[in-house]
Amino acid sequence: MIPFLIKSAVSLIFLAAGIQYWRHGTMTKEGLSPNDPSSHSHPEDCRLVHLDLELNVDFNKHIFSGFAHLTVEKHKDGVDTVVLDSKDLKIKNVTDQSTGQQLSYSLGDKLEVFGSRLEIRLPTTNGNKLNISIEYETSPEASAFQWLTADQTAGKRQPYLFSQCQAIHCRSFVPCQDTPSVKFPYTAKITAPKEITLLMSAISTGSETDSSDSTKSIYRFEQKVPIPSYLIAIVGGDLESRDIGPRSKTETMLKTAEDLCGPYVWGRYDLLVLPPSFPYGGMENPCLTFVTPTLLAGDKSLADVVAHEISHSWTGNLVTNKNPEHFWLNEGHTVFVERKIKGRMYGEPYRQISAAERWIELQQSVVRTI
């Protein structure tokens, strides 16, 4: 992810400092993980290994409702619960997916920012893997989403929705282990009004009219590569697409990144231009990078942001930090690869000048904060 109009090591200092403050302020809070001070979950005991979403989106109420089907795996003998993160979710029911048996659960007190601890008692089985279903509903105030009315969009024809789950907002979308140390593949079946086009950070596997309601469409997605929860993304609205081919810089950047880092494993690389309210330069969601509309400047002066987001396909999305204290590793390695791409495309002097500029900014920032 690139903070809007900030792309330098300077931001990493503030990020690291902020997270250290975050840690010291929360480590004493009961229930938060010793391995990730921003999460309630304990994946060292029982870990989420697959997620299947079956949801309806309501643009009038600004909510999602339906089911999250979770496959979890016990890693220790005697473990009889799984602990998940949730934030402002209305939990309606929890069942053993294989038998339909209702499972008991408890929802802890809400901690500001971090949400609530959702602890589910697991059924007694012989194996270590279990499938559980959680029926739930999101809140209209869910921090993961921004909802726009039709009048707030450029086309003024349909409402619009986009998500931003980084760093710890996925827990307001899905009950999950919302920590970068837990990575899992996911599938999704999302029902929406037929006028709405839906996309996710996954490969589309088809869409059809809802047989029970002809005014709605069902969209299906699959992400086979395990990802952390912060990379789950969804967007819906009056969307149009354009193919970008060999003449685009994006294709050259992607091929250069493959030469440097190895094969691109995500299948597709799509760029989605979000409304001006999107607060970042870009967000590296797999298969579907979100970018600010300022990238469409006629002189292409901001187009190199794409090189940064492409680099995240390896540094961050494939190799991921353990917890938010170490997000600076994602960004630091990504900037390194980004500059390597630019050096290959525009020449080594370009890369060196870019690095020198950011080094000067870093020094100036340190002086200002002393």
Task: Let me know: does 85 contact 221? Beta carbons within 8 Å.
Answer: no
Average pLDDT over residues 206-231: 98
Same domain for 254 and 335, yes or no, is yes
pLDDT tens digits, 137-153: 999 999 999 999 999 99
Query: For residue 32, is it within any domain?
Result: no
Specify the higher pLDDT residue, 353 or 244. 353
Report yes or no on 233 lying in a domain.
yes
CATH number at residue 119: 2.60.40.1730
Same-domain pairing of 108 and 212: yes
Quick one: pLDDT at residue 19? 45
312 is known to lie in a ligand binding site = yes
Residues 257 and 324 in one domain: yes
In this predicted structure, what is the pLDDT of residue 230? 99
Residue 110 confidence (pLDDT): 96
User: Is residue 196, in this structure, part of any structural domain at all?
Assistant: yes
- What are 328-344's pLDDT values in tens digits? 999 999 999 999 999 99
Note the pLDDT of residue 132. 98
State how far the Cα of 218 lies from the Cα of 161, in Å rounded to an integer: 16
On whether 24 is known to bind a ligand per the annotation, the reply is no
Task: Indicate whether 47 pLDDT > 70.
Answer: yes
Q: Residue 233: is its pLDDT beyond 90?
A: yes
Where among 237, 263, 292 does a domain terminate? 237
The confidence score (pLDDT) of residue 370 equals 67
d(CA 255, CA 262): 10
For residue 87, give its domain range: 46-140+174-237
Provide the pLDDT confidence category of residue 30 given band limits of 50, 70 and 90. Answer: low
pLDDT tens figures, 173-206: 999 999 999 999 999 999 999 999 999 999 999 9
Q: Is the model's pLDDT at 18 over the cut of 90?
A: no
- Show which of 219, 237, 255 is a domain's final residue: 237
CATH number, domain of 295, equals 3.30.2010.30
Residue 158 lies in a domain: no
Q: Which of 6-15, 34-43, 46-55, 341-350 has the lowest mean pLDDT?
A: 6-15
- Classify residue 36: in a domain, yes or no: no
Same domain, 181 and 325: no
Whose tokens are 């999602």? That residue is 64
Percent of the chain predicted with pLDDT > 90: 80
Q: Residue 4 above 50 pLDDT?
A: no
Domain identity same for 229 and 252: no
Whether residues 223 and 344 share a domain: the answer is: no
| 203 and 300 housed in the same domain | no
Mean pLDDT, rounded, for 265-283: 93
Q: Are 231 and 201 in contact (CB under 8 A)?
A: yes
**Same domain? 232 vs 246:** no
Q: What is the average pLDDT score of the chain?
A: 91
Q: Is 42 annotated as a binding residue?
A: no
Mean pLDDT of 5-19: 40
> Can you give the pLDDT at residue 368?
76
pLDDT of residue 225: 99
Residue 216: its pLDDT value, please?
A: 98
Structural domain count, the chain = 2
User: So what's the pLDDT on residue 327?
Assistant: 93
- Residue 27: its pLDDT value, please? 46
Residue 22 has pLDDT above 60, yes or no: no
Do residues 224 and 127 both lie within one domain?
Answer: yes
Per-residue pLDDT tens for 65-98?
Answer: 999 999 999 999 999 999 999 999 999 999 999 9
- What is the residue whose two structure tokens read 């802890």? 108
Structure tokens belonging to residue 37: 């001070």
In the chain, alpha helices (H): 9-26, 249-261, 305-311, 327-346, 348-369
Mean of pLDDT values over 257-265: 98
pLDDT at 10 > cutoff 70? no
- Tell whether the torsion through CA atoms of 321, 326, 327 and 328 is positive or negative: negative
Look at residues 183, 214, 237 and tell me which one is the last residue of a structural domain.
Answer: 237
CA distance 146 to 142: 9
Same domain for 94 and 214: yes
Question: Exposed, middle or buried by CB within 10 Å (0-12, 13-18, 19+), for 366?
Answer: exposed
State if pTM tops 0.75. yes
Same domain, 272 and 223: no
Same domain, 337 and 301: yes
Of the candidate ranges 5-9, 34-38, 105-109, 163-167, the one whose mean pLDDT is the lowest: 5-9
